[in-house]
């Protein structure tokens, strides 16, 4: 398998994407995932945001990343597609992300639904709306030979029955699952059972632990975690993560395991990395 991380780890330390590349090189991590900014942000422009704006040239950025020995595992274009703004805001954003990702040498784009039940729409109307969105997106994704992943992160996607329907929106190998251990857990699901149900659809994995205090206060009441304030291995989800790794191992998964946690400018994600490397070795998973 391949080990990577999401640059969300450097959100609250207000570091740049370049700082994330430096951290990856220093810690011998070769896969990186970041959010895409569609437009200009003063915070990003001043170097205080660890994500990438699509006005940045993707080919030149890929060359810079090559110098660091790092490549994209996925870019995050997860504007909620479940609400009324899905077709007018989300779809154009994802389509631009596809074009950018192709030139950046990135093979996966992450998508999701909204955190809450969409206002003014019943469940079936929202599902029909998302199907319309994904049909447009997948047509382009197939042309660009890029995988569109659906991440469990919202009202619909953390419900296994709804996720099953969403993954069948299009009869295409380009529509896959980005498994997330933390979001499924905080939504009240069993991450291992969720993974096993959709194992044949998994193309990218987020590994996220959950602190005991967060689980005690909101378990089953939230559908996702913005940025986990817990190092991998330190929370109540650690055993589930280990079991998910064993399930992926037994199925022959060879994709990216992307660590997600608030990195505190380095220390917490370094702790997560140490736990991951020890756990992967303990369960017999080789890392490329």
State which residues form the domain around 117: 2-282
At 128 the pLDDT is 98
At 186 the pLDDT is 97
Rounded distance between C-alpha atoms, residue 152 and residue 180, angstroms:
6
At 50 the pLDDT is 97
Region class of 32: left (phi > 0), else alpha (psi between -120 and 50), else beta: beta
At 265, the pLDDT band (50, 70, 90 cuts) reads confident
Average pLDDT of the residues in 223-233: 92
Rounded distance between C-alpha atoms, residue 166 and residue 197, angstroms:
14
At 226 the pLDDT is 85
Average pLDDT, the chain: 97
Q: Facing residues of 111 across strands? A: 150
What is the pTM (predicted TM-score) of this model? 0.97
222 contacts 186 by C-beta, under 8 angstroms: yes
- Give pLDDT tens digits for 85-127: 999 999 999 999 999 999 999 999 999 999 999 999 999 999 9
288 falls within a domain: no
191 contacts 185 by C-beta, under 8 angstroms: yes
Instruction: Give me 196's structure tokens.
Output: 């096993």
Given a cut of 90, is residue 253 above it in pLDDT?
yes
At 227 the pLDDT is 85
Nearest to 202 by CA among 252, 242, 161, 239: 252
Counted domains in the chain:
1
Nearest to 130 by CA among 196, 175, 173, 178: 175
HSE on the CB side for 21, CA within 13 Å?
17
Domain CATH number, residue 224: 3.20.20.150
Q: What angle do CA 174, 130, 187 make, to 5 degrees?
A: 90
Can you tell me which residue has the tokens 């399930």? 247
287 falls within a domain: no
At residue 71, the 3 state secondary structure works out as strand
Rounded distance between C-alpha atoms, residue 220 and residue 62, angstroms:
40
At 129, the pLDDT band (50, 70, 90 cuts) reads very high
Q: In 76-211, which ranges are continuous DSSP H helix?
A: 91-104, 123-144, 160-166, 181-186, 191-197
175 falls within a domain: yes
Q: How many Å is the maximal CA-CA distance in the chain?
A: 49
Average pLDDT of the residues in 245-255: 98
- CA 51 to chain centroid, in Å, comes to 13
* Strand bridging mode 147-150 / 108-111: parallel
- Percent of the chain's residues with pLDDT above 70: 100
C-alpha separations of 164 from 43, 150, 151, 194 in Å: 38, 11, 12, 10
246 falls within a domain: yes
Average pLDDT of the residues in 4-17: 96
């Amino acid at each position: 398998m391949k080990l990577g991380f999401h640059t969300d780890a450097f959100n609250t330390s207000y570091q740049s994407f370049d700082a994330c590349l430096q951290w990856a090189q220093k810690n011998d991590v070769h896969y990186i995932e970041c959010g895409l900014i569609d437009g200009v942000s003063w915070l990003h422009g001043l170097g205080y945001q660890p994500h990438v704006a699509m006005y940045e040239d993707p080919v030149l950025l890929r060359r810079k990343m090559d110098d660091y020995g790092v490549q994209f595992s996925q870019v995050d274009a997860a504007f909620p597609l479940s609400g009324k703004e899905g077709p007018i805001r989300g779809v154009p954003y994802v389509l631009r992300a596809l074009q950018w990702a192709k030139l950046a040498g990135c093979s996966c784009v992450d998508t999701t639904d909204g955190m809450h039940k969409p206002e003014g729409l019943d469940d079936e109307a929202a599902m029909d709306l998302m199907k319309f969105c994904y049909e447009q997106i997948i047509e382009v994704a197939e042309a660009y030979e890029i995988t569109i992943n659906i991440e469990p992160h919202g009202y619909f996607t953390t419900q296994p029955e709804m996720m099953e329907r969403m993954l069948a929106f299009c009869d295409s190998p380009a529509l896959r699952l980005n498994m997330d251990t933390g979001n499924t857990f905080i939504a009240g699901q069993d991450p291992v059972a969720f993974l096993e149900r959709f194992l044949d659809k998994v193309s990218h994995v987020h590994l996220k632990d959950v602190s005991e205090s967060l689980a005690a206060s909101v378990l089953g009441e939230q559908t996702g975690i913005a940025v986990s304030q817990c190092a991998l291995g330190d929370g109540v989800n650690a055993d589930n993560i280990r079991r998910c790794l064993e399930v992926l191992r037994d199925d022959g998964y060879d994709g990216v395991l992307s660590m997600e946690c608030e990195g505190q400018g380095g220390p917490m994600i370094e702790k997560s990395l140490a736990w991951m490397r020890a756990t992967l070795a303990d369960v017999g998973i080789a890392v490329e």
